[in-house]
Amino acid sequence: MKSKNRNRILFLLVIVAVLFLAVSLYLVYFQLFEADELAANSLNRRNYIDESLVDRGDILDRTGQILAQSQATDTGYQRSVTYSVSLSHLIGYNSITYGKSGIEQSYNDYLLNIQDRDAVGKLRQVVTDGTVGNNLTLTIDHRLQLLANDLLKPYLGSIVVTDAKTGEVLAMASSPTFDSDWIDQNWSWIIEDQTAPLLNRATQGLYAPGSVVKLISAVAIQESGIDQSYVDTGEEMVTGYPFVNYNNAVYGEIGLRQALIHSANTYFANKSLQVGADKMAEVAGRFMIGEIIPFDLSTARSSSPYQSGMADVDLAAASFGQGTTMVSPLNMALVTGTIANGGTMMKPYLVSEIHSPQGSLIRRTTPEVLSEVTSRRNADELRADMQAVIEGTSAAIWSAPVGGKTGTAEAQDGLVHAWFTGFIPLDDRDITVTVVLENQTMTGAGAASPIAAQLFQWIYDNYHHE
């Protein structure tokens, strides 16, 4: 009896010991497999209580203008953006409820000064009172950004201004826009808006390019070494399908330059068949069509229409911009920049410098080659062609020999997307300007070129002899 009694008590001990050990094991399991997801849940108020204790770093533009800063309040720090409408797609919003976007998202670790830490270190650092974030300097010029926004305001579309030599993005506008400082209050109507104000069209909008794509085809023609002369009869038959020029024009005997000046569809339809789909695809790939463009903001992948063995009709149509090609304004700006920059595509960037709160330099972005696209000779020739294209058009300005190409791509309901992409030579560098306007009644030359001209003029006035 006594030993039985003893065994039963020991049995109880085993049961309870197993119980507590199970709880301990569960704790470890929970930590390893469930904790991360739970801790990151937006309902976990730690995620923003922590951050609101950090003096999030300032964001400045290239002129030293403060674009975003944090102000101390009773409950923590409050974020405010200086030009919160014009810069909403670049700086992004920083909301407790809806998360982050733009630079606020992609450079969050630097802005919180937790860039070098592992997960545990981050948590610990974030909550330590008195943390001050790093300051970012952007390549943006707020004056140019405001101008681009004003010019774009009546339209849906995008403007991208870059430095072809370095890859710096000087302005990047997207319309419609929203006010990042009022994201919480306006969220419901912003996301219901059919025009998608949250979409950064410059990097994530994909448009049929129309004739601007002829710049890429031109490089393919140059590189393939085929005869560049052509006699235009106003029609080019490809396997029974007739391709014609805009307004059914007939240009007679033309070379590549005239073909670009007149934007002759027939020329490119004819030549692309000689170049072949493989070569076209290869050149488009070097121009980052169909590739992911690394950038400080998330980018959409442009889509290339070229594949080996494709039908001649499709190949011909794609060569002058009527195929399934879809490009982002940023991608097109890089294409133009490549031609202006002697055939070398520079990697685009927005953040030029990161400084610690004490002012010491943490990171400086050095210009990087993204893609060696074509030879300097080809590029320079095409560059001169582009200048010839613009001469005497509505994109031209008196002060400098700007070059460019317009495009008009069919959209819905008989409307078009109006494109302009071009560059202005300054003392030792070229600045590219790319404009795309959605759902226009006028062509690229009619709608987009005048906007580009105003930007060129401003750039010349402010950057010449800089």
Partner 1 sequence: MRRPRLAEFVVRSKRREYFSNVKLLTFMFQLLSMGLVLLNTRQALTVNSLVFSGLLIGLTYLSNVLVQRYTKGDNYLIMIANMLFSIGIVMIYRINPALGERQLLLYTIGVGAFFIAYYFLHYTGHFWENKTFFFLGISIAMLAVTLVFGRTLGGATNWIEVAGFQFQPSEFTKITFAFFIAAFYANHAFFKQKLGGSLFLMIATYILIGIFFLQGELGTAIVFFAAMICAMIAFDRSRLLLFANIGLALAGLFVAYRLFGHIQVRFEVWLDPWADPDGRGYQILQSMFAVASGGLFGRGIGLGQPGTIPLAHSDFIFASIIEEMGIFMGIAISLLYLIVFYRGLKISLSQTNPFYKVLALVISMMFAAQAAIVIGGVLKLIPLTGMVLPFMAHGGSSLLASFVMLGALQYSSVEQYPEVALEIKE
The vertex-404 CA angle with 402 and 407, nearest 5°, equals 150
Query: With binding defined as CB under 8 A, does residue 51 bind partner 1?
Result: no
Q: Which residues of 149-175 are buried (b: 16+ CB within 10 A; e: fewer)?
A: bebbeebbbbbbbbbbbbbbbbbbbbb
The span of 11-19, 265-273, 307-315, 376-384 binding partner 1 (CB under 8 A) equals 11-19
Query: With binding defined as CB under 8 A, does residue 72 bind partner 1?
Result: no
Query: With binding defined as CB under 8 A, does residue 189 bind partner 1?
Result: no
Question: Left if phi > 0, otherwise alpha if psi is -120 to 50, otherwise beta: which for 381?
Answer: alpha
> In Å, how far are 60, 111, 125, 217, 356 from 132, measured between CA atoms?
16, 8, 10, 50, 9
Closer residue to partner 1, CB minimum distance, 25 or 361: 25
Query: With binding defined as CB under 8 A, does residue 6 bind partner 1?
Result: yes
Closer residue to partner 1, CB minimum distance, 126 or 373: 126
If one counts every other C-beta atom within 10 angstroms of the C-beta of residue 65, the result is 16
Q: By C-alpha distance, which of 163, 167, 157 is closest to 144? A: 163
Query: With binding defined as CB under 8 A, does residue 20 bind partner 1?
Result: yes
Query: With binding defined as CB under 8 A, does residue 46 bind partner 1?
Result: yes
Task: Please tell me the total number of residues recorded for the chain in this structure.
Answer: 466
Under 8 Å between Cβ of 458 and 162: no
Query: With binding defined as CB under 8 A, does residue 96 bind partner 1?
Result: no
Strand order of the sheet with strand 403-410?
169-175, 157-163, 430-440, 416-425, 403-410
Find the shortest distance in angstroms from Cβ 37 to partner 1: 8
Closer residue to partner 1, CB minimum distance, 17 or 237: 17
Query: With binding defined as CB under 8 A, does residue 2 bind partner 1?
Result: yes
Closer residue to partner 1, CB minimum distance, 10 or 250: 10
Find the shortest distance in angstroms from Cβ 98 to partner 1: 17
The number of CA neighbours under 13 Å toward the Cβ of 430 is: 30
Find the shortest distance in angstroms from Cβ 32 to partner 1: 9
Distance CA 412, CA 328 (A): 18
Distance CA 201, CA 300 (A): 9
User: Residues binding partner 1: what is the number (CB under 8 A)?
Assistant: 41
Query: With binding defined as CB under 8 A, does residue 192 bind partner 1?
Result: no
Find the shortest distance in angstroms from Cβ 11 to partner 1: 7
The span of 26-34, 86-94, 226-234, 420-428 binding partner 1 (CB under 8 A) equals 26-34
Query: Which two tokens mark 237?
Result: 């038959």
By CB under 8 A, name the one of 66, 85, 127, 244 that touches partner 1.
Answer: 127
Our CA dihedral for 381, 384, 385, 390, rounded to 10 degrees, sits at 160
By CB under 8 A, name the one of 72, 73, 75, 129 that touches partner 1.
Answer: 129
The span of 15-23, 62-70, 278-286, 360-368 binding partner 1 (CB under 8 A) equals 15-23
Closer residue to partner 1, CB minimum distance, 24 or 462: 24
List the beta bridge partners of residue 55.
Answer: 132
The span of 41-49, 94-102, 365-373, 376-384 binding partner 1 (CB under 8 A) equals 41-49
Query: With binding defined as CB under 8 A, does residue 384 bind partner 1?
Result: no
User: In which residue are the tokens 């080019």 written?
Assistant: 236
Query: With binding defined as CB under 8 A, does residue 364 bind partner 1?
Result: no
Under 8 Å between Cβ of 216 and 321: no
Element (H, E) at 136: strand 135-138
Query: Which two tokens mark 411?
Result: 């959209």
By CB under 8 A, name the one of 128, 185, 229, 274 that touches partner 1.
Answer: 128
The span of 46-54, 164-172, 392-400, 451-459 binding partner 1 (CB under 8 A) equals 46-54
**Rg of the chain, C-alpha, whole Å:** 28
Query: With binding defined as CB under 8 A, does residue 121 bind partner 1?
Result: no
* DSSP assignment letter at 295: -
Under 8 Å between Cβ of 279 and 224: yes
Closer residue to partner 1, CB minimum distance, 44 or 233: 44
Query: With binding defined as CB under 8 A, does residue 123 bind partner 1?
Result: yes
Distance CA 25, CA 32 (A): 11
Closer residue to partner 1, CB minimum distance, 51 or 385: 51
User: In which residue are the tokens 């226009």 written?
Assistant: 440
By CB under 8 A, name the one of 73, 74, 120, 195 that touches partner 1.
Answer: 120
Find the shortest distance in angstroms from Cβ 23 to partner 1: 5
Find the shortest distance in angstroms from Cβ 97 to partner 1: 13
Find the shortest distance in angstroms from Cβ 419 to partner 1: 47
E strands, 307-449, are 344-346, 351-355, 361-364, 369-372, 403-410, 416-425, 430-440
Find the shortest distance in angstroms from Cβ 191 to partner 1: 21
> Would you tell me which residues interact with partner 1 (CB under 8 A)?
1-2, 5-6, 8-13, 16-17, 19-21, 23-24, 26-28, 30-31, 34-36, 38-39, 41, 43-46, 49-50, 119-120, 123-124, 127-129
